[in-house]
Amino acid sequence: MQRLRTLARQVPPLSLALRWLGGLGLVLALVASFTELAEDVWFREGFAWDAPLILALHQFGRPWLDTVMRIVTQTGAGGAIALGIAVAGWFLWRRRALDAATVVISFAGAAALNTVLKLLLARPRPALFPPLVVESGFSFPSGHVTAAVALYGLLAVLLWRGRHRAWAVVSGAWVCAVALSRIYLGVHYPSDALGSLTFATLWLVVVFAVRDWYARRTGQA
């Protein structure tokens, strides 16, 4: 009887097993999606839906909307850096060094990976209409969207875990707003934004997996 009880304690509960299976399924889906996108970019095969989508969105252009999108897009560049530093500093002030380190690692790691992928795949930027902002460098994946996932996506998870559900939804939705702004402004194809969403989300999964493992190991969970 004692042996059966010991074995029962060693078997993970059903909820934990389902979470691991769900996480594995998410990782595999993200890997498959990004691999498919990156392969087509590598072989310059293109995407039939890229041009129609970016042109359709361009039809909604208005001077006031141009201004809004320029502001939104900055929250995935300098704004994201400033906010990331502020959030990391706030965590340190609250003696939450692990969360501060998670923010820094998430943002810096995503930026580094994004730079490598840009140089490796070397996709030219869209030239379907004059872009509303000036950008240099390659197009795939989008650095702004990657930064948004690494910061606002991370904050969305932390806020959700802290039961601040409304703010978590807002933070997650902001990632989509940044992605939309990059397409609207004409500096990225929709596939660039989608590629960033898939690979940066995969990176975020890895970051949280390591963070949670370390938190349990050190008793900070």
User: 73 and 178 in contact (C-beta within 8 Å)?
Assistant: yes
Check 144, 152, 184, 204 and give the catalytic one: 144
58 is catalytic: no
- The residues, any chain, with a CB within 8 Å of residue 146's CB and separated by 6 or more, are 110, 111, 113, 114, 196, 199, 200
User: How remote is the C-alpha of 66 from its chain's centroid?
Assistant: 24
Tokens of 47: 């995407």
188 is catalytic: yes
Q: How many CA atoms lie within 13 Å of 65's alpha carbon, on the beta-carbon side?
A: 12
Check 123, 182, 188, 211 and give the catalytic one: 188
Could you give the CA distance from residue 101 to residue 106 in angstroms, rounded to a whole number?
8
Residue-by-residue DSSP string for 50-119: HHHHHHHHHTT--HHHHHHHHHHHHTTTHHHHHHHHHHHHHHHHTT-HHHHHHHHHHHHHHHHHHHHHHH
Q: Could you list the active site residues?
A: 144, 188
